[in-house]
Amino acid sequence: MNKVSLQDNMEKQRKRLEDQLEEIEQMKDELDKDEYEQLKKETLEQLETFNKGLKESEGSKKVELKESKIQGILNAQVQQEAAAIRVKIQKIEQAYHLKQVNLEQLTKEKLNLINQMSSELKVPLTQDEQKFQHEHTGKGNFISQKQEIKGDKLISEANDQIQKHF
């Protein structure tokens, strides 16, 4: 059931309870005193319970909205981290082209950074990143995708290497 129809149903239910209360008031003279008091009391209790549930539902919607905002913030942070990692990949590639790091260092560091994006950040990789990861991961290569990656340490070491050469 979608939110609009749920909200409509809740409004209809509240309206029915209010109408029922109004009918009880109109029939006051036709009912004996105990019956009138009992019906009125039950209807008011139902209305009160319904209104409490409605308020809780509104509170729940606020929590959902906050959770949605938090998720959006987290997603933005993950995207920023992924962008920072891609910049580090570009820097290490640049260092390789300037002959500041060798091919083995480039491959190892780039693969670790790509694995960090895919396994830790769960960021979709570009086709080039996927291809690089596939080509440099497996039996014959020096690093396994399942190997534990210490991303922060690796990034720090890559930055140190780059700084030494600049």
* pLDDT single digits (tens) 99-143: 999 999 999 999 999 999 988 888 899 999 999 999 988 644 444
Nearest to 111 by CA among 84, 141, 83, 81: 141
Across the range 82-93, mean pLDDT stands at 92
**Is residue 32 very low, low, confident or very high in pLDDT (cuts 50, 70, 90)?**
confident
Looking at the whole model, is its pTM more than 0.75?
no
Q: Which residues contact 89 (CB under 8 A, 6 or more apart)?
A: 110, 113, 114
Q: Which residues contact 70 (CB under 8 A, 6 or more apart)?
A: none
Domain boundaries in the chain?
3-74, 77-165
Nearest to 136 by CA among 83, 89, 85: 89
3-class secondary structure, 143 = coil
Please state, rounded to an integer, the average pLDDT across all residues of the chain. 79
20 within 8 A of 47, measured Cβ to Cβ: no
